[in-house]
Amino acid sequence: MDKQNDVPTLHPLLPSVATWLIAAVLIGAASALLRYQLIEPLSWAETCEPQRWQGWCVVRSATIELFQQQRIGWFATACALTGLVTGVRLFAGLALLSGAASMVLYAVEPGAFGALLGLLSLVRAPGDERSRGQTAATAMAPASKEKPSA
């Protein structure tokens, strides 16, 4: 809170995280549209069976390849872990986006895990002591090396 005006101030990372969350909602909506309009209808399955890699069947076939063996979900998890280890926020954002898509496209378990880790990495402050390899005990230790007086 700002003591002069008693107006709450926003965390500096909030606009960035909100942008990633809005993008994740849009990706989820686009994935749902793709799933319900191109993947699941029987008419598309019959049309694309003889010619899987022509016209709109390319999009359908590529999407099916993404969720077979939950590849898109494992991609989300790999991006999230890379973002946590390296501290690069782009990987965390990619994890959130691909996790949102994978939860709609049949790869729920690894996608949800990747999206959650990505979101946690996005909200973690870049200057967080734990992100630089220090343990929680080291970060909480007193800064002063003086002995307490008795």
Contacts of residue 74, defined as CB under 8 A and 6 or more positions apart, other chains included, come to 107, 110, 114
Q: Which residue type is seen at 99? A: G
**Whole-structure pTM value:** 0.74
Whole-number Å distance between alpha carbons of 52 and 38: 13
Locus of tokens 């899987």: 52
Say which range, 73-77, 88-92, 136-140, has the weakest mean pLDDT.
136-140
Whole-number Å distance between alpha carbons of 101 and 27: 6
Q: How much is the pLDDT for 141?
A: 52
pLDDT at 9 over 90: no
Locus of tokens 């872990």: 81
